[in-house]
Structure 1
């Protein structure tokens, strides 16, 4: 795959429109968001020529090479909005929305994180602040005073022509963050906003016209959208580590300071065991994170394929498999033992 990555990188370098308009660290946050949108527009014209569109590893490499690690305005549209429609919308809903989403006629995000429990205010979802005109909103389903828990709803939040918020909607950008400033994380508030019954995503659960509720085959089946993003996190952390380590190792190999046995020449900083002790374990850790990340992404892809066959038992089976994994027999971190495992046992997970 290394040779293929180099080939993709060389192809990108020949498309001058994909070069930064100015050095990224010198851009304001608004400029970073605007630049990511510009590059995505150019990229859409060359996508099929640059990579195999069915190869997720190639797609991830392409995004990283063109957009870096600061995120981009459509990241949640690609990684959560469209996959949620694929895994949780029924056939009729997919016919209505999925094609438009893939053609980017509508731009969406995934709005789950709340400002507080049982509030009508979402806080932090990516692509919400400026980009999205639709959102998959996770909200409590209540029918005749009976609470059925969190369900996903397809909700229009901005006018598709003017991009202004619809009546009853408050939406905005939350501003600069410590990282991912190429993405527009935002806030979303609802005030007496009506969502139609058939806008609840109904592949696994359903509300009929008479108000009756058909529950999903398994309560955890709705986790599929979040699991997809979580499956990428290990690899993302490895890539962040690599970015820092490349700088540290190269500098340590060039910079000379101090003397050892030979007093006539200063030694490279990398020759000091203390420097090696700081850097080399992190290099190994970064490799482990990246390889683990690829594995979890492939496992998640397999899971989505099985879920698409409406196998209601796949999630509990996968959960049982994870609990039996050798990784769960080893005390990797003290905090896992001290906090997470007792919590899981108490909840009888």
Structure 2
């Protein structure tokens, strides 16, 4: 077995030069799309926007890998899409494609045998075919309803063999389609979160206070005329670091926190002789129980507080939440 090759200073310099050249070539490939993206692109967006079924993305080899990513991006931004392998389509998977669907076929040369073989069947079914190819004279381009030009002047590969700049151009063109479509659909941040419930954005935008707050008896509270000792027992028992002070109807009229306790001790106040009303902060910050947890996080950050009281539609205390609760829920 040959010993591993040791990189020399010349090898290092060549590697860095090739990397820079790759960036230049691929950047030029993407920028080259800009001048060639016109009416055909707008027509493609209109067709994808109007499709009643799904966008079926196809591609062989490296174009297939790009196609999978494009299908995933479309699906997560409001356009129902899936990837179907062209070779598998010829052996039964073509039944997954219906006349109400649209096929986005990706091939740099436009002559992939596996795609060309199924074009007649797609045309007989009345399926709209949008081609993404670098060869306007190819079989794929001739049989497609709309042709998106993804051609590049050259590949970044020094041998001009490995798809590099061409696949980068395909990816950028797919992203452009997805961005134009999400804008046309009025796709919002909340819509994106619904398709990504396991991600950080999903947690921030879909988690409600009712999912993370300390509800019912777990929320510390005392009456306004409660003695200070009762207030301390309630805070210790519930472990929030604060307690609500409520009126007879259960509406919060004040709040007392660990920080307030430290300040009272520093001032030398005789805590045995005071009531909750005398030490509380009146008009505490509150938030509705149907609000998003992220709104509570924003409220606490804005007012530099570590806990907030949660109220129902009638303004009655129904829970409480602090920064630790939001951190455990991975909202912050």
TM-score by length of 1: 0.27
Give the greater-gyration-radius structure (CA): 2
TM-score by length of 2: 0.28
